[in-house]
Structure 1
Amino acid sequence: MCTRYISPEDREIEAAWHVGARTPERWARDMHPLYLSPFMRRARESADYERELVTGQWGLIPVFSPSHIPQTKPRKGETKGKRLSTVNARVNGIEQKPTYRNAWTKGQRCIIPARSFIEPCWETGEHVPWNFRRADGQLWGLAGLWDTWTDFETGEVWDSYTMLTLNANLHPLMSRMHKLEFDSKTKMPLPIQDKRSLVPLEAHDFDRWLTCTVEEARAMLELPSVALFDAAPLAVQQP
């Protein structure tokens, strides 16, 4: 699962998607779970189709959650609320998962802009972060879901989002990422792994992703081609 990515500046988002010019919201560039970051969705206040750029928490807050931990930067020793691992959502069975079911069935899909994202490779036996950029130099537009959560104590409304992931066991590149699971007795890698991949969208599919039916959206979710990536260890390729 992805737990770090590099967010573009508002001017880069405007140039790529024609939305969010001179937005007053600020966000960190080096994104981690529970940070506030921009994402695009279908505008809710417009009768006609329009995109809107909003800032929300990376880590979808379920509608049933009693509390959460919003962050714009790390907070050491923070204990308030219950932190749920919702920065990534597995597509398989998503319509049955209480955390994501509301957003998925309502078609609350979003596009998450990213300059690059970072994944761990354990082929050497050690954690080696790899940086993933687009080979064509464009920004990533990653498939996600968003939802709105209300704090019933304060009345404050929070937007939040999650990135969708697919099984990547057979993907030539993404299957190399993340740590292998081993049998406790034989010490051999388990035959069934669950490597994951984010789902990048292409420019011709951006509007369709935000407006199509749930059935059509599921059909759009495919593993990316290896040719799409410019990937290397982070030590030799800065994001």
Structure 2
Amino acid sequence: MCTNFAAVTGPVLRDVFGAEPPPGPWKPEIWPGDAAPIVRADARGRRQCLLATFGLVPRSRHVHGARDFETMNVRAEGVGDKRGSCSAWHRTQLCLVPAMAIYEPCYVAGQGWIRYRIWLPDEPALGIAGLWKQWPDGTYSFAMFTVSAPGHAVMKLMHAPGKEKRSVVMIPYLQWQAWLSCRDPELARSFMALYPAEKMMAVPAPLTPQPAEEAGAAGPGAPSR
């Protein structure tokens, strides 16, 4: 599960992803509920970039009492059956989530929880497989696909010991266009693979402590940053 990632800059969107950056600012580091750029294919197959909220069903749209209903990640195995994602999946509303790195918590014996930065040193950026949704008011939201990763040399170390291990789906650079242009849900499943561990880099990247006033402003239920 990934709920925190380093966003790309406008020049990276233009030069690496081949899409014009969207208007409006976004943060260098993205958390649930933040706006971030995503890349999709338009009706002609051209790459289009727009700002979307991280979380397929944004927290602002959660039904009262559904505070724990998180949709930043979509399990690839059951995406076609889940109420929050099935319509977007069957319409193949696929996207790439551009990122420079993802962040995951790793439990280190004797040290406790340490945030790790994970990236692909041989790729210009990460193109994470995503699913997008448009709302009646014209805004967009997105989620990242995840797959099971119990034997993955990097991702099996992340999150709590003994808990299920999962990884976001990182689409190789040469497959970006094929993913964006895919209009067959069953064919889209063929992209749901783990990225080779030997081609990934993971290093400690502890969080910088927040000023007290910022931490208070985040409100109850906000992620610890």
Q: What TM-score, normalized to structure 2?
A: 0.84
* Distance in structure 1 (CA, Å) of the matches to 2:201 and 2:155: 12
* Distance in structure 2 (CA, Å) of the matches to 1:137 and 1:51: 19
- One of 192, 206, 221 as aligned partner of 1:221: 192
Instruction: Determine the structure 1 residue equivalent to 2:220.
Output: none
* Distance in structure 1 (CA, Å) of the matches to 2:203 and 2:65: 37
Provide the alpha-carbon RMSD of the alignment: 2.2
* Distance in structure 2 (CA, Å) of the matches to 1:24 and 1:158: 13
- The residue type equivalent to 1:25 in the other structure is G
* Distance in structure 2 (CA, Å) of the matches to 1:82 and 1:179: 24
Residues 108-131 of structure 1 show CA distances to partners (whole Å, capped at 9, x for unaligned) of 010000011100001326111000
Instruction: Determine the structure 2 residue equivalent to 1:231.
Output: 202
- The residue type equivalent to 2:101 in the other structure is S
2:153 matches 1:172: yes
Instruction: Determine the structure 1 residue equivalent to 2:76.
Output: 91
Residues 53-102 of structure 1 show CA distances to partners (whole Å, capped at 9, x for unaligned) of 0101000028xx9x528xxxxxxxxxx89553000111111111101101
2:126 matches 1:140: yes
- One of 173, 177, 182 as aligned partner of 1:207: 177
CA contact (8 A) 2:123 2:173 kept: no
Instruction: Determine the structure 1 residue equivalent to 2:61.
Output: 68
- One of 128, 135, 138 as aligned partner of 1:149: 135
- The Cα of 1:24 is off from its aligned counterpart by 2.2
Q: How many positions carry a matched residue from both structures?
A: 204
Percent sequence identity is: 29
Instruction: Determine the structure 1 residue equivalent to 2:25.
Output: 26
Instruction: Determine the structure 1 residue equivalent to 2:106.
Output: 121
Structure 1 unaligned spans of 5+: 70-79, 151-155, 182-192
Larger Rg: 1
Q: State the secondary structure of the residue aligned to 2:98.
A: strand
Structure 2 unaligned spans of 5+: 207-225
* Distance in structure 2 (CA, Å) of the matches to 1:139 and 1:81: 38
CA contact (8 A) 2:116 2:202 kept: yes
CA contact (8 A) 2:115 2:205 kept: yes
- The Cα of 1:49 is off from its aligned counterpart by 1.5
